[in-house]
Structure formats: C-alpha cells, structure tokens
Structure 1
C-alpha cells in the first residue's frame, strides 16, 4: 500500500508539472503574440498615416495616436521581458516551470485588455493604469521565480547573462511601473494642476529595459564560447539599472525650479547609458573576436543589435535626437535574435536557416533605408517582407517540431568555439 501511495504521489506531481508547463507555454506564447500584433498594428498604421492613406478621425485616427503607446509599452515589455522570461527562464534556471502561473496568465489578460483600450479609447489613461498593473504582476512572477531558484539551489551557480538581463529588467519594471501609474492617476484626478501623462513618460525605463534585456540576450548568444566573463557584464548592467532608475525617478518628479536639475540629471543618465553600452559592446566584441566564432544566425542579430544601438547613441550625442528610434530598432533585433537562440540552441529544435538569414538581410537593408532620404517607404516595405519571412520561418519550425540531434548541436558549438581551443 505504501508503494501504491508513493506511485500515486509521483503521478500527481507529474500531472501538476505538466499543467504548469502548459500554463507557461500558453502565457509565454500570448505575450509574444501581443507584442507581434502591437508591432504590426503600430508600425503599419504609422507607415500608412505618414503616406496620407488613413483618415484623421475615427478608429484609424485613434490607432495613429496610439502608435507611441503600442511601440513603447506593448512590444518591448511583453516580448523581451515577459515573453522570453516565461518561455526561457525555467530552462535557464534548471526548473520545471515558473512560479505563480495563474498570476502570469492574469497579467497577460490585463495587458491584452489594456492594449485593446489603448487602440479604441480616445483617452488612454485607464489603459496606462491597467498596463502598469499587468507589467507589475509580470515582474513579480519573474522575480519570484528567479529568487526561489536561487534559494532552492544546492550549489551556488552563477546566473547566465540572460537571467541577469531578465532579473534587472524586471526590477526596473517593478520600480518604475508604479511611478507611471501614480503619475497617470495624479494627472487624471487633478488635471488643473498636473500635465497630461502619455506613453512617452515611460520612454526612459523602456530604453533601460531594451539595454538590459537586449544585452542579456546578446551575451547569452556568446555564452557557449566561454570567452566572455559574466561577472563584469553583470556589474555594469546592475550599475546601469540602479542609477538609471534613480535618475529617471528624480527627473520625472521634479517640478518648477527643479526642472533645470531634472534636465541635468537626464543628461547624466544619457551619458551613463552611453558609457555602459560602449563597455558592454566592447566586452562582447572582445570575447567573440578572441573566440573566432562562426556567424551563426543568432550572432548576426546580436551584431545588428550592437550596430543599431551604437548608431543611436552617436546620433543622439551629435544631433540631440535619434536615440529612442534606435532603441526601438534595437529591441526588434534583440527579439528576433532571442527567438532564434531560444528555439534553436536553447531548446534544441530545428528552424529553416535560409529563411532566418533572409529575415536578417531584409531587416538590415530596411534599417539602412530608414536613414537614406527618399528611401523610407522602401524600408517600411522591406520591414513588412521581413515580418512575413519571420512568421513563415516560425510557422515551419513549430509545425515540423523536429528536435535537433545532440551530436549536431555539439558539432555546431564546437565549430563556433573552435578558435577558443586554438
């Protein structure tokens, strides 16, 4: 009877693990779908509005007004933080599933409702409050999972760059989302004494999240090479997150006579982020150059991320503008590279390499077209083609669902790190 009872408990535990894993898969997929839909709607409406093909009133007018919110709030956070965190963190931490799975599903639902309200309501203040609530719940789920894994670990193993990026991004979200909600409510309840708060208010935290989560994914691409030290990367990312949050909170809460101080704080924040981006890019380039890696698909996207973000910092320092568009493009490179890294090397599933490389080429050419006068329409068209190629590659990969043989992965990793042995 004891044996039968033990077998029953084991079977129940397996059923619970399977249910938790299904919850994680559903939540992670929903996050990524939300980000993809927001990117397609926001980007498509922006292009059509710029070409004068959309009416200024009605639903289309509201969608055009919602473009900043869609790109800032509903692409970066659901994809880079919540989506990849839910799908990738259990594997990176050696766990079966995420903690607080039901809260994670609730967060997806709240973010989805907020996205619908953002697109349909002329006044987006309620949507901003709901988004802050959903982002806060998602950050709690991710941080609880990471800290629980650290507490339960018998061996004090160091976090991977991806885990560091997710943990610090979630921390930024946990600290900044309540401030965004409070500022929105203050402007809502006392409009006579407070300026209206839009999605642009959260642009600096989104930039920090792109920097932290993006570099976490980029360094994860080179983690198997063994030539990149995780500790200095973690120190730089942690210092950037802490000082960036403090500087943003200081500048966002300053009023009246403190506005000049707030502007100085913003300039210091920009210089700090520039310095940290340069240091992280230098560490990544030094490690990959030392290892003489082959240009696998994820590394192509990592190089694209570094090039776009570096170009954005240069343009910002020279002209005083251009950083936020570069960070949005950098988020695109980080999301696409992270998908191929997660699907291929982290999970060990096949995806069509030729389509993945075509996706990168189209995206890179489209990015260059955006900075050439008169080529913006062509660039937008190429971005649309790249999105279709990405959807096709992902669909083929998930439809076939072919595990890559362990020997093939070992050969690929050995080939990538072949220079390290030399």
Structure 2
C-alpha cells in the first residue's frame, strides 16, 4: 500500500490540471457545498425553533420535520466521507485523480435531489431511498480508488490514519446503507406491520462514521506537529468499524422477544464507541504531547472535536446517554476544521484568521450553553452567529482567492488584512 502523506505542504500553483482532476475538484467542492447548505438550513431551523420563532405549518414545518435528516444524512456523509475523500484521497494515495469520476458526480446529483425531496415532501421515504443510492455510489468510488492504489503499488507501506478513516467509513456505508434502505422499503410495502422509520434509525452508523472519519481528519490536522504510530490507530478503527456494523445490524433487525437482546447489543455498541474514542484520543495526545504545538486554526477545531467526544463519553458513563449526541456535535467540529485545513493548507489559499478563530470561539461557547440548564436559547443564538461568521469567512476567502506559502510571510495576505493559515 502506498504511504499517505500529510496535506500540509508548501503551496505551489496548480499547473496543467487534467480533466479528471478538474472533475474531482468540482465533485468534492459540490459535496462540501451540499453539506454546508444542509448544515445552514438545518442549523437555522434549530436556532429559530429553539428561540420560538419557527411556525409549525407550511414549508417551515416541513423543514423542522426534516431537521434530523439534514444534520444526520446530508452533513456527515457528504462532507466527512464523500467531500474530503474526493478532495484529499488522490494526494494521500499518490495518484492523479479518483476512479469513477462520472459516478462520483452522479452521486452528488442524487444526494442533492434527495436533500430537496427531504425538505419538500411530507413523506421522506423516497428521499431516504435516493440518499441510500447516493451513499452507495460514493462509497464504491472511494473504495475502488483505494483498492486500485493497493493493486498498483510496488511497495507495501502503511496508509495514514486519514486514509484508514475514509476507507473504513466507506465500508461502514457499504454494509449498513442496504439495511437502512431495506427497512425503509419494508415500511412502504407492509405499512400495517412495520412502523415508519426516520433518519434517527441510521444514527448509530452515522456515529461510527463520525468517529472513524472525524478522527482521521483530526490526526491529519496534527500531522506536522506530532508523530503518531499508524498501526494501533488502524487496528482500533478496523475493530470499531467491524464490530459496530454487526452490532447495529443485529439490534436494528431484532423484534419481539429479541428486544432485550437488541437493547443489550445497542449498549455494547455504545461502550465500544466510548472505548474507541478514548483510545484514539489517547494516541493523538501521546503523539503530540512532546511536540511544540502551534495552535493553527484547524488544530483548534481538532481539539474541540476531542473535547466534545470526551465530554460525551463522560456523560455516557454518568447518565447512560450522551455519546451519540456528542459524536453528532463532534461532526460539526470535524467538518469546520477540515474545511480550514483544506482551504488553507491543502489548497494553499488565504482565509481571514480572526474570523476563523471567532467562528471557533462562538461554536465552543454555544456548545457549552447546550449543556447548561436554561442556556439552550442562548446556545442556539450563538450557533446562528457562528454560522454567519463562517459564511462571511468563506465568502471573503473565495472572493479574494489569495495564494499563500505556508511557513513564509505573505505580502499579499498581509496587505489584504490577514495572515497565512
């Protein structure tokens, strides 16, 4: 297997991009835009609902109903797996582009259509089927690219934690999405005996994906400042993915007399995720403990991801619940940190550092407010402000489009009122 390299590198202007590379850039950017749109719509609905400003009827009512699906299905998978996978895997695998580029673009279109139907149709089952199709197409693109790189490799060296996270997340999708689609079809074909299921049904696999892909991105954020042994990280991720999918399938398909068994298996899955999160966080901290850490913007989000996941684990031990919501909230930190890492260090373009750090501060404050009694409304308002700051920072970055050289002073960036990432 070809070694995966860090995304942090001295920027050089792209010269002579091939059609496949332009296709990958378009698909990856489209995935991120879809995830950002779903997060803004879903987050906006959550903020307005938390402040009591959301009507319960009409389009607003449908958006409120679609909020869980938007956050679970259209943020985590399009961003953490499909988007960052499409944009980063070719570089990490040492190849020019992704395989099956047209299938990847088709998956973007299927995801987008499913998101529109989720927001507009009162019955989201057809949207769930389309989403399942898009997820399977995207997973096949990622896995075929990784396995093709293995087959073409002349030397057997290890993947980075990022590549392991993407590969195992795609495998989780490939194994669990058919169960989700089949369960949705079952409620459609035999409605009298099967209750309608929603996006919450798929919350456990989404939690696994956040754990695997999220930690892969977090390890990539710290690639320059610490040395982490890949083998134990890969073992933990692989064991978590394999046993997690089996446990979820067993608990989701159990009925009647097996309900106690399903509950026990579900609790075991949570315990496994908790243990995996602690082990991966420990390996990350051990790899960076002795390094001279420079708190770059992506690393701040990585630390936030670790703090949220660790907090969820503690709450899970004390109250018996809390890890799944923490993993879902941790996805926000992984996506935002991944965006700044992609824009600033993978692409080599300037973004406003002060706005990016303000975005993190507001998000962290909002997260704390969610766990304090009586502060939830303030937390929703802070999340709304954080979203506006993120949009402003992204718009300014893309509008100015100033290339930077990592580790060197950049006159153009300074003149524009910012600093290198």
The structure where helix makes up a greater share of residues is 1
Instruction: Report the counterpart of residue 223 of structure 2 in structure 1.
Output: 223
Instruction: Report the counterpart of residue 269 of structure 1 in structure 2.
Output: 269
> What 5-or-longer segments of structure 2 have no aligned partner?
1-14, 410-421
Instruction: Report the counterpart of residue 35 of structure 2 in structure 1.
Output: 35
Instruction: Report the counterpart of residue 377 of structure 2 in structure 1.
Output: 377
Secondary structure, aligned partner of 2:224: helix
Instruction: Report the counterpart of residue 109 of structure 2 in structure 1.
Output: 109
Aligned pair count reads 395
Instruction: Report the counterpart of residue 244 of structure 2 in structure 1.
Output: 244
For 2:407 and 2:67, the matched residues in 1 are separated by 46
Matches within 5 A, 1:129-148: 129-148=129-148
Contact 1:227–1:290 (8 Å) recurs in 2: no
Structure 2 CA distance for partners of 1:267 and 1:395, relative to 1, 3 Å: same
Shift, 1:157, TM fit? 2.9
Instruction: Report the counterpart of residue 178 of structure 2 in structure 1.
Output: 178
**Deviates further, 391-400 or 295-304:** 391-400
> What 5-or-longer segments of structure 1 have no aligned partner?
1-13, 410-422
Structure 2 CA distance for partners of 1:103 and 1:259, relative to 1, 3 Å: same
Shift, 1:349, TM fit? 2.6
1:389 and 2:389 are equivalent in the alignment: yes
Deviation track 1:233-257 (CA, whole Å, cap 9, x = no partner) reads 1110111000000100111111111
For 1:357 and 1:46, the matched residues in 2 are separated by 23
1:210 and 2:210 are equivalent in the alignment: yes
Contact 2:345–2:406 (8 Å) recurs in 1: no
Deviation track 1:138-178 (CA, whole Å, cap 9, x = no partner) reads 00011111111121122323211111111111110111111
For 1:166 and 1:157, the matched residues in 2 are separated by 17
Structure 2 CA distance for partners of 1:233 and 1:184, relative to 1, 3 Å: same
Q: CA RMSD in A?
A: 1.7
For 1:64 and 1:377, the matched residues in 2 are separated by 16
Deviation track 1:273-309 (CA, whole Å, cap 9, x = no partner) reads 1111101111111111121312121111111000001
For 1:360 and 1:55, the matched residues in 2 are separated by 30
Shift, 1:226, TM fit? 4.3
TM-score (norm 2): 0.90
Instruction: Report the counterpart of residue 6 of structure 1 in structure 2.
Output: none
1:82 and 2:93 are equivalent in the alignment: no
Shift, 1:393, TM fit? 2.0
Shift, 1:81, TM fit? 0.6
Matches within 5 A, 1:14-33: 18-33=18-33
Secondary structure, aligned partner of 2:290: helix
Contact 1:222–1:228 (8 Å) recurs in 2: no
Instruction: Report the counterpart of residue 332 of structure 1 in structure 2.
Output: 332
Contact 1:20–1:97 (8 Å) recurs in 2: yes
Structure 2 CA distance for partners of 1:52 and 1:344, relative to 1, 3 Å: closer
Matches within 5 A, 1:231-310: 231-310=231-310
For 2:77 and 2:282, the matched residues in 1 are separated by 26
For 1:395 and 1:160, the matched residues in 2 are separated by 31
TM-score (norm 1): 0.90
Contact 2:274–2:323 (8 Å) recurs in 1: no
Shift, 1:396, TM fit? 2.5
For 1:273 and 1:146, the matched residues in 2 are separated by 25
Shift, 1:389, TM fit? 1.8
Secondary structure, aligned partner of 2:408: helix
Structure 2 CA distance for partners of 1:403 and 1:55, relative to 1, 3 Å: closer
Identify the structure with bigger relative contact order (alpha carbons < 8 Å, sequence gap 6+): 2
Contact 2:47–2:383 (8 Å) recurs in 1: no
For 1:395 and 1:39, the matched residues in 2 are separated by 16
Deviation track 1:74-113 (CA, whole Å, cap 9, x = no partner) reads 1111111111111111111122211111111111111111
For 1:227 and 1:25, the matched residues in 2 are separated by 29
For 2:293 and 2:54, the matched residues in 1 are separated by 47
Structure 2 CA distance for partners of 1:193 and 1:158, relative to 1, 3 Å: same
Shift, 1:406, TM fit? 5.6
Shift, 1:407, TM fit? 5.3
Contact 2:281–2:306 (8 Å) recurs in 1: yes
Contact 1:315–1:321 (8 Å) recurs in 2: yes
Secondary structure, aligned partner of 1:170: helix
Query: Which has the greater radius of gyration?
Result: 1
Contact 2:50–2:376 (8 Å) recurs in 1: no
Instruction: Report the counterpart of residue 12 of structure 2 in structure 1.
Output: none
